Amino acid sequence: MNKKIMVVTTGRADYGLLYPLIQKIESSKLLDLKLVATGSHLSKFHGETVKLIEQSHDAKHLYKVAMTQEEDTEGSICYSIAQGLRGFSELINTTSPDLLVVLGDRYELISVCVAAVIHKIPIAHIHGGELSFGQIDDSIRHSITKMSSFHFASMEGYANRIVQMGENPSTVFSVGALGVDNIKSLSLMEKDELTNHLDIDFNENIALMTFHPVTLDSYESANNQIIELLKALKNSSLLTLMTMPNADTANISIYKEIKAFSKKYPEKFRLTKNLGQRVYLSSMKYATLMIGNSSSGIIEAASFQLPVVNIGDRQAGRFRSKNIIDCACSQEEIEKAIKKALSTEFLNKINDIKSPYGEGDTSKEIIEIIENLNLEKKSEILKKGFYDLEYDSHLED
């Protein structure tokens, strides 16, 4: 009997990363897919990206769990998590998956992972062991690690951190990042095709901007940060293609500012709600630089030798390639970083870098591991214990 694998996607970003893995589960003769869309996928404000999922996958494999978030406040998010916990409990009880697969650190995952633990369903977690200072994400990511039975890390250093958290090394696998798989497997657009599709001339200097809320900062801080960034870009020689922020606290405030700038300065800013993974990566391929605070700038951009201006501390703690320029979130510092990113000296420095996140075979490695897992003895899997590292004897005193 095939293993029933439940994969949960919370929004456009993790769906794009999970896409190659989902495809391989669908084509596996040993696995049955239970794909669940939740979070911003079901939000009209964020473009109802569940429609894109419906176009790409068999409807009988797709489930939806509503996590209503009418506001971008802490209280609204807590209500959403509570609603999701109830919905996922009912879904797990109905579908009885053998394994839950989740990626990253989104707050929506708290709901499904707690439900899985209560229902005694093993969890496989992708992208554990990483850090993103200034975010509640670290707390969520590490708590998911402790709830999970299997771990797929994007680098050896992150795999070591997972072991450091007490997870048995036999359950931790360093497999690379799924984002690199898409670069290898998707048929990216040619420059002329991309130019016609977005009505943006990629023969000119184009900045690809994604800026998310820093969730441990205040609303006022988030608003000030995005204004500083937009003023710096307005003064640059770049035309900026902007994507929506994710559904964290203060995302509405950020969205209002970028929408206002795109209307006031249409010759400098273009806003799109959802590019989709193929268009997003194609834009990354032909952009002059990337700017903002997205993890895609840290992980995927290196494969294109693309300069990245990384703003603030949202991605602090992640491993960096030479294409990353870190700067504070002030107009002056951002303008300096943009100037450096466009310089011939810097471009020559990064023209031969390679991604440290694998060769684009991550989904293949994960599928092979999952196919070979013995999930029949769940009680043995779920009784994880705690793997102790060697330590100095004086600590026992």
276-297 mean pLDDT: 93
pLDDT at 70 over 80: no
Q: What pLDDT, on the 0 to 100 scale, is given for residue 37?
A: 95
Q: Stretch 157-185: mean pLDDT, rounded?
A: 94
Q: With contact defined as beta carbons under 8 Å apart, do 241 and 282 qualify? A: no
Q: Which long-range contacts (CB under 8 A, 24 or more apart) does 20-26 make?
A: 20/178, 20/181, 20/182, 20/185, 20/362, 20/363, 21/101, 21/178, 21/181, 21/362, 21/363, 21/366, 21/367, 22/57, 23/363, 24/363, 24/364, 24/367, 25/367, 26/57, 26/58, 26/61
Split at pLDDT 50, 70, 90, the class of 397 is very low
- Alpha helices (H) along 191-343: 191-198, 219-234, 251-264, 277-286, 295-299, 331-341
State residue 6's pLDDT score: 98
pLDDT at 216 over 60: no
How many helices and strands in the chain, by DSSP H and E?
A: 16, 13
Structure confidence at residue 395 (pLDDT): 46
User: What is the rounded average pLDDT of the residues 197-210?
Assistant: 95
Q: Report pLDDT for 103.
A: 96
Between 192 and 294, the higher pLDDT residue: 192
According to the per-residue pLDDT averaged within each range, which of 21-35, 70-84, 133-147 is highest? 21-35
| Residue 246 pLDDT | 73
Which is more confidently placed, 12 or 96? Answer: 96
Q: What is the mean pLDDT of residues 35-42?
A: 92
Categorize the per-residue pLDDT at 4 as very low, low, confident or very high, splitting at 50, 70 and 90: very high
Residue 50 CA to residue 42 CA, distance in Å, equals 6
pLDDT at 311: 93
Bigger pLDDT: 199 vs 252: 199
State mean pLDDT over 31-49: 88
At 100-130, the pLDDT tens digits run 999 999 899 999 999 999 999 999 999 999 9
The two three-digit tokens of residue 259, written as one number = 């929408």
Q: What pLDDT was estimated at residue 153?
A: 97
Question: What is the number of residues in the chain?
Answer: 397
pTM, full prediction? 0.82
Q: Which pLDDT score, from 0 to 100, does residue 134 have?
A: 57
**For residue 317, pLDDT beyond 90:** no
Cα dist. 82→74, 88, 111 in Å?
A: 13, 10, 7
Residue 220 has a pLDDT of 60
- pLDDT at 82 (0 to 100): 95
> Higher model confidence: residue 268 or residue 320?
268
For the chain, list the domains and their CATH numbers.
Answer: 3-175+361-382 (3.40.50.2000), 185-350 (3.40.50.2000)
Token readout for 196 is 């016609």
Percent of the chain with pLDDT over 70: 93
CA atoms of 25 and 364, how far apart (whole Å): 10
DSSP output for 250-288: THHHHHHHHHHHHHH-TTTEEEES---HHHHHHHHHH-S
Between 222 and 18, name the one with better pLDDT: 18
For residue 291, the model assigns a pLDDT of: 97
Mean pLDDT of the chain, nearest integer: 90
CB 309 within 8 A of CB 341: yes
Task: Pick the range with the lowest mean pLDDT from 52-66, 85-99, 347-361.
Answer: 52-66
Q: What's the sign of the alpha-carbon dihedral 333, 335, 337, 339?
A: negative
Whether the pLDDT of residue 221 is over 80: the answer is no
In the block, tokens 């951190």 appear at: 161
